[in-house]
Chains A and B, each alone.
Chain A
Amino acid sequence: QVQLVQSGAEVKKPGASIKVSCKTSGYSFTGHYIHWVRQAPGQGLEWMGWINPNNGATNSAQNFQGRISVTRVTSINTVYMELTTLTSDDTAVYFCARESADTAGNYFDYWGQGSLVTVSS
């Protein structure tokens, strides 16, 4: 079965960086884009960016450009999201999500369990 398993909760100080991992299994790793979506406490979902695990190509939302880096290690079917220069506004649950292979649709059919990142001095 398809699984996306994320790294655990972390606490960071303002100005630091965070790197969250998303280990996938149960499907062809290179056949689906992996996205990152975050959710601040009590707030809605915010799309951050994606990676194409097949070739490493990435794209990110304008809000995060310059601060986000999404990478992958194909030998272990794992995607990483690094966010730099953290502020308290980055306190959120970060989800990885698999994009469907449906060529006519761009939706997220499987999600990781979420990783809580708390930014506090």
Chain B
Amino acid sequence: SDELTQPPSVSVSPGQTARITCSGDVLSKYYTYWYQQRPGQAPLLIIYKDSERPSGIPERFSGSSSGTTVTLTISGVQAEDEADYYCQTADGFGTYYVFGSGTKVSVL
């Protein structure tokens, strides 16, 4: 299957750790990227090539990969991290780009 599956929601208390998974057969072959989207805003790249962090993204955001599942970890969650998070992959040949179903992170 070409689909990427994420849990619909994750709830976490401030200061705790949130883990968001993204599963799909294709993830064992291609890099994964993560985006944060706050309400009414465009997505923001927060992780690229499985675990790299763009300039300006806080260190509390990290990514890891194992087989067909990748994980976005937010350590020491802050209220401002409340948002939707999407994983994304592509085949590297320009023919296939897909987003995960999205996970809403709620900070209690």
Q: Do B42 and A95 have beta carbons less than 8 Å apart?
A: yes
Interface size range on B against A: 20 to 34
A3 CA to B83 CA in the complex, in Å?
Answer: 23
A109, B54: Cα distance in complex, Å? 9
In the bound complex, residues from chain B placing their C-beta under 8 Å from that of A104 are: 31, 49
Bound Cα distance from A110 to B61, whole angstroms: 19
**Contact flags A78-116 to B (C-beta < 8 A → 1, else 0):** 000000000000000001010010101111110111100
Q: What B residues does A72 contact at CB under 8 A?
A: none
CB <8 Å contact, A105 and B94: no
- In whole angstroms, how far apart are the Cα atoms of A28 and B32 in the complex? 26
A106 touches B95 (CB 8 A): no
Contact (Cβ within 8 A) B99 A47 = yes
CB <8 Å contact, B43 and A105: no
In the complex the two chains form, is A111's CB within 8 Å of B42's CB? yes
> Is the CB–CB distance between A109 and B45 below 8 Å?
yes
Is A114 within 8 A of B97, CB to CB?
no
A109 CB, nearest partner CB in chain B, Å: 6
Query: Does residue A50 face the partner (Cβ distance < 8 Å to B)?
Result: yes
